[in-house]
Amino acid sequence: MSDEDEIILSELDDDELVQQMFDDLYDGLREEIEEGVNILLGRGWQPYDILTKALVGGMTIVGNDFRDGILFVPEVLQAANAMKGGMAILKPLLVETGAPRVGKMVIGTVKGDIHDIGKNLVSMMMEGAGFEVVDLGINNDVDKYLGALESEKPDILGMSALLTTTMPYMKVVIDTLVERGIREDYTVLVGGAPLNEEFGRAIGADAYCRDAAVAVETAKDFMARKHNQMAAG
Amino acid sequence: MILTDLLSERGWLLADGATGTALFNMGLQAGDPPELWNDDRPGDIRALYRGSVEAGADLFLTNSFGGNAARLKLHDAQDRVRALNRAAAALAREVADAAGRPVVVAGSMGPTGEIMEPVGALSHAEAVEMFHEQAEGLKEGGADVLWLETISAEEEYRAAAEAAKLAGMPWCGTMSFDTAGRTMMGVTADRLPRLAARLDHPPVAVGANCGVGASDLVRTVLGMAGQNDIPLIAKGNAGIPKYVDGHIHYDGTPALMAEYAVMARNAGASIIGGCCGTTPTHLREMRAALEATPKGPPPTLDEVAAKLGGFSSEADGTGGAAPARRRGRRRG
């Protein structure tokens, strides 16, 4: 790096620093993100503002470029890793200050399905966006989902299936939630290569997510709606 | 080596079709690993292999796609890697030797399913070890060549190359180009033949398998062609999966796959087969079309789209037409 390229984060004003953090997230620079978070904290920023304005804002750009075929999985994972560096600093402070949490998700591939790479990507990107993620792994039957919903109390249930033969099991899980009267307690997101929006609607999910970037955007959308409802109620 | 001999003799070879979707039709239950059938239901695996051979395939893949330790561990069968791969290849050897003509047994090796360093946790050494263990099993069973497929990361491709070298086996390696024309990890079509040629133990042939539909696959072959002399492989899906009454149904007809085979060869592929949804019925029509049609000039993208259907993305995955990446200010 030449002297001319050297950017001293602490010399940037707040707006410039946030813009620079967007760039650094995009480039997956974990140490720089950690430094930026600490500088903003030193300037008296609320942890929740740093999370939403600097980190989630930057990851939104990453997510959009992933969706548009400009960035691919390796770059996105590096960005998510940089984001996690910032989150590690913010997490205890967010709890301390009683900040609203971004959201919590329980996720797993459905019974019969052993294809987990898509689900793993969603987990990593959701964490990158500030969500807490509980990953149930592969091949989950309805009891495992129900158990996790009860013990983890997430906002979102994510189900993934790669096979056309396993997709219908998602409906079994959702029907069980309905039977128990707890369907409305969760946002249910589904994903996987053979699925489409029509299928998502047909089985009673809240949304179908085409890829990990869409999953994050959709999850954020539903969380915002939930917060608005709570504020209104 | 039988594969290169046959290829230079004939100029093109017909590879097989689907394994996974065929096994589901034979009663494989979703969630169960197909590789266990090598031990538990050898008769069905022989029937699967025979289906391809009797349809005219010159080469078929063993039932060992998920037969590495990382995948089998999900079923607590990680201790059976070597035996299951050996069995997969031994059954194949039996069928190939009884064919009455030269047929190549290609030992299938699919991805580990893990993300490799630096972005993921799986180290190069661990990946090499996993592929090597599988490769030794396939070799013992009598595979002629190792066949790496559905790979998306360059790191994993390299690890498998090293494993093939350790096993002293020739190999072929295809990637799956399913994300805006590139692999999930961003590898472009034109890059694959170049990176393969630079490997310490280069593959006998490189190419594309699975991915989106037949039209995308031919476009990928066009992107790979002309980079160097490595023979190219095309193994595309029989159309797009559709969900019909709870069953898997690929919308590509045998006639469409016959068109695809001819176009893939014109695009530059010399080993041509199918992937998901491709049945022996498809293979028969593909073989007939390849035999009846002389090789022609490479198709244009418009011709591909007109005959095989539209593409899944605008970018062709060669990197040339990709939208610009946001410029970071720090390190180029």
Domains of chain A: 9-100 (1.10.1240.10), 101-233 (3.40.50.280)
pLDDT of the residue at A118: 81
| Cα–Cα dist A133/B2, whole Å | 50
Q: Which of A160-174, B29-43, B50-64, B89-103 has the lowest mean pLDDT?
A: A160-174
pLDDT of the residue at B24: 85
Identify whether the C-beta of residue B91 lies closer than 8 Å to the C-beta of residue B137: no
Identify whether the C-beta of residue B289 lies closer than 8 Å to the C-beta of residue B261: yes
Q: Which among B31, B186, B246 is the nearest to A114, CB-wise?
A: B31
Bridge partners of B243, per DSSP, are B248
Confidence of residue B312 (pLDDT cuts 50, 70, 90): confident
For B179-195, the pLDDT digits (tens) are 888 998 899 999 999 99
Identify whether the C-beta of residue B66 lies closer than 8 Å to the C-beta of residue B110: yes
pLDDT of the residue at B245: 63
Report residue A59 as tokens: 């990851």
> Domain limits of chain B?
2-308
- Per-residue pLDDT for A8 more than 60? yes
Residue with the bigger pLDDT between A210 and B175: it is B175
- Per-residue pLDDT for A10 more than 90? yes
Minimal C-alpha gap between A99 and chain B (Å)? 30
Determine, for residues A69 and B313 on separate chains, whether the beta-carbon distance falls below 8 Å. yes
Determine, for residues B326 and A65 on separate chains, whether the beta-carbon distance falls below 8 Å. yes
CB atoms within 10 A of CB B102: 15
Here the ipTM equals 0.76
Q: Which of A11-15, A99-103, B244-248 has the lowest mean pLDDT?
A: B244-248
Whole-number Cα distances in Å, B247 to A110, B243, B250: 17, 6, 10
- Per-residue pLDDT for B322 more than 80? no
H-state helical runs in B12-41: 20-25, 37-40
For A83-142, the pLDDT digits (tens) are 989 999 998 998 888 888 889 999 999 987 777 778 888 998 888 788 999 999 888 999
The residue-averaged pLDDT of B193-209 equals 97
Residue with the bigger pLDDT between B116 and B201: it is B201
| Cα–Cα dist B181/B178, whole Å | 6
Question: SS3 of B203, please?
Answer: coil
- Per-residue pLDDT for B319 more than 90? no
Q: Which of A23-27, B28-32, B280-284 has the lowest mean pLDDT?
A: B28-32
Cα-Cα-Cα-Cα dihedral sign, residues B311, B314, B320, B325:
negative
Task: Give me the phi and psi of B171, to 5 degrees please.
Answer: -150, 160
- Per-residue pLDDT for B91 more than 60? yes
Tell me which of B75, B119, B245, B248 to substitute to probe the interface with A (most A C-beta atoms closer than 10 Å).
Answer: B119
CB atoms within 10 A of CB B213: 24
B100 touches chain A (CB under 8 A): no
Identify whether the C-beta of residue B185 lies closer than 8 Å to the C-beta of residue B153: yes
pLDDT of the residue at A233: 56
A46 touches chain B (CB under 8 A): no
The burial of B39, by beta-carbon neighbours within 10 Å (0-12 exposed, 13-18 middle, 19 or more buried), is given as middle
- E-state strands within B121-204: 145-151, 171-175
Tell me which of A7, A72, A127, A198 to substitute to probe the interface with B (most B C-beta atoms closer than 10 Å).
Answer: A72
Report chain B residues whose CB lies below 8 A from the CB of A165.
24, 30, 246-248
Residues annotated within a binding site of B for Zn(2+): 210, 275-276
Q: Which among B71, B119, B181 is the nearest to A78, CB-wise?
A: B119
Report chain A residues whose CB lies below 8 A from the CB of B75.
114
The residue-averaged pLDDT of B172-183 equals 91
Confidence of residue A164 (pLDDT cuts 50, 70, 90): low
For A139-160, the pLDDT digits (tens) are 899 999 999 999 999 999 999 9
**Closest-CA residue in chain B for A8?**
B330
Strands B241-244 and B247-250: antiparallel
A182 touches chain B (CB under 8 A): no
Residue with the bigger pLDDT between A188 and A129: it is A188
pLDDT of the residue at A173: 95
Residue with the bigger pLDDT between A96 and A182: it is A182
Determine, for residues B30 and A165 on separate chains, whether the beta-carbon distance falls below 8 Å. yes
pLDDT of the residue at B166: 98
The residue-averaged pLDDT of B204-220 equals 94
Report chain A residues whose CB lies below 8 A from the CB of B241.
164, 193-194
pLDDT of the residue at A2: 47
For B66-80, the pLDDT digits (tens) are 999 999 998 899 999
Residues annotated within a binding site of B: 210, 275-276
Give the CATH H-level superfamily of domain B2-308.
Homocysteine-binding-like domain (3.20.20.330)
Report chain A residues whose CB lies below 8 A from the CB of B315.
69
Whole-number Cα distances in Å, B71 to A121, B130, B188: 17, 10, 26
| Cα–Cα dist A173/A148, whole Å | 13
pLDDT of the residue at B329: 54
